[in-house]
Amino acid sequence: MTEEPPGTPDSDPEHIDPAGDLADLIETGEQNIQLFEEQDPEKLREFIESVENSDSPPDPGTNAIVRIARHV
C-alpha cells in the first residue's frame, strides 16, 4: 500500500493548507494572476529553478509558491 503525502485534499481532508488550496485554485485557470510591477521575472524564474533543482524536497509552503509562480 502506497501512502500519499499528508496535507493534500484527497489524502487528508481535515488538513488546512491555505497555500496549497490557493495553488490548486490558480492551477485550474479560473483565476488570473500577474506579477507585481517591480517584480523581476528573471529572478522569479531563478527562484523556481533553484527550488526545483534542490537536492532536498521543498516544504509544502515553498512547493505551493512554486506552483503559483509557474502560472504567472
Centroid of chain to Cα 58: 10
* Kind and range of the H or E run holding 18: helix 18-28
- Rounded CA gap, 24 and 56, in Å? 23
Task: Give per-residue pLDDT as tens, 37-64.
Answer: 999 999 999 999 999 999 988 888 899 9
What is the predicted pLDDT for the residue at 30?
85
> Domain-by-domain residue ranges, the chain?
18-69
Q: Helix 60-69 to helix 18-28 angle, to the nearest 10 degrees?
A: 20
The structure's pTM equals 0.68
- What is the structure's pLDDT at 1? 46
Looking at per-residue pLDDT, the higher value among 44 and 10 belongs to 44
Nine cell digits for residue 15:
488538513
